[in-house]
Amino acid sequence: MPGNNFQSAEVEMFTEKEREVKELIDKHVQKVGKCLACFESCFEAYFLGEFGKAQTIHESCDHIETEADVQRREIGDHLFSGAFLPIERKDIYMMTEFVDKIANKAETASDVVVYQSPEVPEAYVKTLREIVEIIMEMFRIFQDAVNLFAPYDALQVHDVLAAIKEKINSIGVMESEIDKKEEALLITIFHSDLPLANKIQMENFLRRIAEISDVIEDAADRLYVLVIRERI
């Protein structure tokens, strides 16, 4: 399969230290993905009225986010020890920080679910679900792009540079779609007959969710810089 060819070339063409960092990056992205999935489960449990389940899932989100922090620091330690060229280390660590922020934002959104128990009219839940679904797809595409990252020679040999750029562009398109849904829902909320306090609570909840997509796009942008750097 093409994916296996990419992976084998990546292992062959990275140095040993770089290969270790790439493995840590992949594991970190996987861990952050688990935190994001945890938020999605917490969100769904809450809107199904399963408040106890939402609380339990929220606690798991906290643990997973902490584990992701540990992995981020481990990547930093490996970079400090000399993995990759100095010009690349900053880009790699900045991307890692943005990836870690995805977990932070997911945890914060689950905090709002559990601690504030936002009162969301049924008419708005559908749009919120659509936004969360797009966020999950954005992250899946980002993870695919990270998995394809390799030294420039490998990117050229397997012609995956264009594939990575296409995935990053897709993430930008989906983030714009979320922005439009967020804007439309906010207009609907503030033109509704809901009490002002409920409107403000809804706005806060919506923004906490949408911020996850912003950070995924930021992480994808840093990956793009890193891929371009391989050409220099």
Read off the pLDDT of residues 66-81 as tens digits, 9 standing for 90 and up. 999 999 999 999 888 8
Rounded to a whole number, what is the largest CA-CA distance in the chain?
62
Sketch the domain layout of the chain as residue ranges.
Answer: 2-229
Query: Per-residue pLDDT tens for 181-229?
Result: 999 999 999 999 999 999 999 999 999 999 999 999 999 999 998 887 7
Give me the residues of the chain with pLDDT under 70, please.
1-14, 151-158, 230-232
Alpha helices in 15-160 (DSSP H): 16-47, 51-80, 86-111, 122-148, 152-157
Q: What CATH number does domain 2-229 carry, 3.60.150.10, 1.10.10.10, 3.40.50.20, 1.20.58.220?
A: 1.20.58.220
Q: How far is residue 216's CA from residue 224's CA, in Å, rounded to a whole number?
A: 12
Q: What is the pTM of this model?
A: 0.88
Q: Which two tokens stand for residue 139?
A: 């992250």
